[in-house]
Every structure is written in structure tokens, then in C-alpha cells.
A = this chain, B = another copy of it.
């Protein structure tokens, strides 16, 4: 029966030495030395050098070889030979070459380009080895995340993007007209997951979230992907273990499957390989004291900003849990610590190497009256939360959850300078194109 993949692809080159194959792809480099043209080809699944020798191909193929420009698309046939000098270990001895499309002069050259230029040409920039490697790692991270959640018994229940209210106020939300009423693009699916958790026990969502924040930092996108998870009968402590297991599974999978991509990124693997469970924990109050000792101008009761996260992040070789933040600076739905009600049973997970927060989680308030008071105190309209309060009216249950930011996790794993390279088409406050 016909197969989805009738063409040979370069990912199989190493297993096909000695065979005659036909390669469809693009030239990412061209070099000529008199009677030989060397084409560096990529087909999206791998790369190879194709050697076109004037005396081994026909006239039309030789003519085509002269015309190949950077990023031209070609179809070429030949035999796969061992080549110890090539990183792939294989090269193609061409017998035939056809130019599919001769590319115009490619705007992205070998010289250094400014970030704005590259971002304007993002649709072409993604063809570069570095960007392609990041995208492959992104694919692997997502597969690892989903598999980890499945293995831990979580069921995917997608949360809506268009929502009438905001979990934490509307000031940083994108708004749209929804057939005559206001709708907002969700920043988190958490509230909805608390509802599906009562149906399925353990649930997660994974989708784009939106933040209309005028933040211009290397950690902020206006559109980013988040995995939210929620688990019934899971307390603060067990919630941390689920987060640890998820992060470990991602790391294991990337280290297992993406060696080649990490090499292209020149990522030092040691810091990733050395990560082990359990991750160290620090209470907010201890973290503040520690930060103050480093000279950071933070006061007790302040929330951490990017600078504080960076200090904490750089001082650790392991992901670091910061727990028990002051209730006053955290979201209304977080459960207070019964030992000291000024604090909540929450955690932020700070990635090492300066990458800052990648997860935020907490145990949720399960008492109806407490939750009603908190919503009122937060200045949110109680009427909009009646359905959410219903979860405390009909079989309320202890539960906890968290959200993991995909792009920050990728930025850490790939050791990127800026989160913008971690997503195919980044959206920033000054960037909606291409």
C-alpha cells in the first residue's frame, strides 16, 4: 500500500551507503573548483555534500550545477559514499542534477545581521542550522511534555482562549469584540482546568496564551505557549513532585534525542546532565534574605522581578523552587499556609544558568467562603466567578496545579540569549510580522 513517504530523505543517508538515491532539497552553500561543484544540500531532515564532477554528469546537469545559487531548490540523483571529513559521514556522488528553482540573491548572508533584519526575514531565517536546531528541540520538548503528562495520568482538556472574564484582571489582556460583547484572550486555562479536574481527576491543557504587556525583556513574548496542569487530591508537596518529574522527563528526552541539535547550538551539556531530583527548595522569606545579602534592593513583601530571578537562577546549578510567597502579592486563588496565613502554598520554579521562572504553581483554595472573600478583596466581579465558585459548592476537593512556559523552558535548554528564537514566529510589543 502506498506510503506517506515515497521519497528518500537525508535522515536515512547514513543507513543507505552504497545506494543510488534521489535527493530533493535546497543548496545552503555552493563551492566550485574548476571541474567539480560542491553543493551543500539540506532537505529539512538532514544535510549532505553533493559532489558534481564535470566528467561524471551529462551536459544539462553540469550546466545546472553552474546555475545553483544559495537556497536554490534542486533534485539530484547519485550514489551515497562514505566521507569521513563530512559531519554526516556521507556524501553524494552525483550522476544527475536538476535545478527546480534558481533562488534570487539570498538576503541572509554569512556576514553578521542585526536582530531587526533577521526578525524581518524570520520566514527565511528559520532555514539556518541554528534556528532549525532550536525548532527541532522545541518539537522534542513538546512531545516529552505530552508523554510525561500522559504517563502521570493526566488527560488533555483544552481550555478556551476566548473568555468573558480574566483570571487575574483585564489590564494586560487583548480584547476583541465577540458578536457585540467583550471577550479577552486568555492568559491561563487554570480556572477551566479546575472544572475538568473534577471530571477527570488529573488534567492539563497546552496552547497559546496572550499577554498585552509592554514588557521589552529577553523573557517576554506577547504570545507564548503554556502547559497548565491541575490535579485533584494533590497537595502542595505532591504538586512539586509532579513538576520535578515533568522537567526531568523533558531534559531526559532532549538529551537522548537532540544531541546533534545541541551540538549545533554549542550547548554545554554538563549543566543539563547534572540536574537531578529532588530540586532544592527555598521559602520566599529565605530567598529575600539571601538576595539582600547579595546587595539586591528588595524588601520583604516585594515580588521578584527579572533581576531577582536572574540572581537566584545564576546562583544555582539546579532548578530552584521558591515557595510560600506572601499572599498579598499572589493570585487570589492560592491556598493560604495553615501554619502562617500571611503566606500561600505556592511555588515558582527558577531554571538555573540565569533563565528565571519557568513554572508557577500552587495549591488552590477549596473553601467557598474563603474564595469568595478573596475574589472580592481582589476587586474582581463576583458574578463572573459564579461558575468557578460552583466547584466549591458541589464536591469541593483539595487540588493543586501549575503552568509551565514552553518558550522559557526552551530558551534555558538551548541556552538562548532571547526567548524570541524559541518560537517559529515570535510576537513582541513591536513585532507582529511576518
Instruction: Decide yes or no: A393 and B104 within 8 Å by CB, A424-B196, A432-B181, A434-B387 being known contacts.
Output: yes
**Of all chain B residues, which has the CB nearest A430?**
B179
Return chain B residues, CB-CB under 8 Å to A225.
Answer: 158
Q: How far apart are the CA atoms of A129 and B147 in the complex, in Å?
A: 25
Number of interface residues of A (CB under 8 A): 106
Instruction: Decide yes or no: A233 and B7 within 8 Å by CB, A26-B198, A103-B394, A423-B158 being known contacts.
Output: yes
Q: A432 is contacted by which of B164, B199, B427 (Cβ under 8 Å)?
A: B164
- The answer to whether the Cβ of A405 comes within 8 Å of any Cβ in the partner chain is no
For A5, A153, A159, A394, the residue with the greatest tally of chain B CB atoms inside 10 Å of its CB is A394
Q: A159 is contacted by which of B164, B394, B424 (Cβ under 8 Å)?
A: B424
Return chain B residues, CB-CB under 8 Å to A127.
Answer: 198-199
Return chain B residues, CB-CB under 8 Å to A398.
Answer: 100
- The answer to whether the Cβ of A176 comes within 8 Å of any Cβ in the partner chain is yes
Return chain B residues, CB-CB under 8 Å to A7.
Answer: 233
**Of all chain B residues, which has the CB nearest A46?**
B201
**Of all chain B residues, which has the CB nearest A11?**
B153
Q: A178 is contacted by which of B162, B174, B397 (Cβ under 8 Å)?
A: B174
Q: A200 is contacted by which of B44, B142, B157, B212 (Cβ under 8 Å)?
A: B44
Contact between chains at B100 and A158 (CB < 8 Å): no
User: For window 1-42 of chain A, which residues contact chain B by CB distance below 8 Å?
Assistant: 1-7, 9, 11, 24-27
Return chain B residues, CB-CB under 8 Å to A2.
Answer: 238, 241, 278
- The answer to whether the Cβ of A73 comes within 8 Å of any Cβ in the partner chain is yes
- The answer to whether the Cβ of A245 comes within 8 Å of any Cβ in the partner chain is yes
Contact between chains at A4 and B245 (CB < 8 Å): yes
Distance (Å) between the CB of A349 and the closest chain B CB? Answer: 15
Instruction: Decide yes or no: A241 and B424 within 8 Å by CB, A26-B395, A201-B43 being known contacts.
Output: no
- The answer to whether the Cβ of A156 comes within 8 Å of any Cβ in the partner chain is yes
Return chain B residues, CB-CB under 8 Å to A155.
Answer: 135-136, 139
Contact between chains at B150 and A6 (CB < 8 Å): no
Q: Chain B interface: which of A48-56, A202-210, A305-313? A: A202-210
Q: List 17 A-B pairs, Cβ < 8 Å.
A: A1-B277, A3-B245, A4-B242, A43-B201, A44-B200, A100-B396, A103-B393, A121-B390, A124-B195, A124-B390, A135-B157, A138-B157, A176-B176, A179-B430, A185-B185, A192-B424, A195-B434
Beyond contacts A24-B233, A387-B434: 13 other A-B pairs, Cβ-Cβ < 8 A, are: A2-B238, A4-B238, A5-B153, A73-B395, A123-B387, A123-B391, A126-B196, A132-B200, A139-B155, A143-B150, A158-B424, A164-B433, A174-B177
A residues sitting closer than 8 Å to B (CB atoms) are 1-7, 9, 11, 24-27, 43-45, 71-73, 100-101, 103-104, 106, 121, 123-124, 126-127, 131-132, 135-136, 138-139, 142-143, 146, 150, 152-153, 155-164, 174-179, 181, 183, 185, 192, 195-202, 207-208, 210, 212, 214, 222-223, 225, 232-233, 238, 241-242, 245, 277-278, 366, 387-388, 390-398, 423-425, 427, 429-430, 432-434
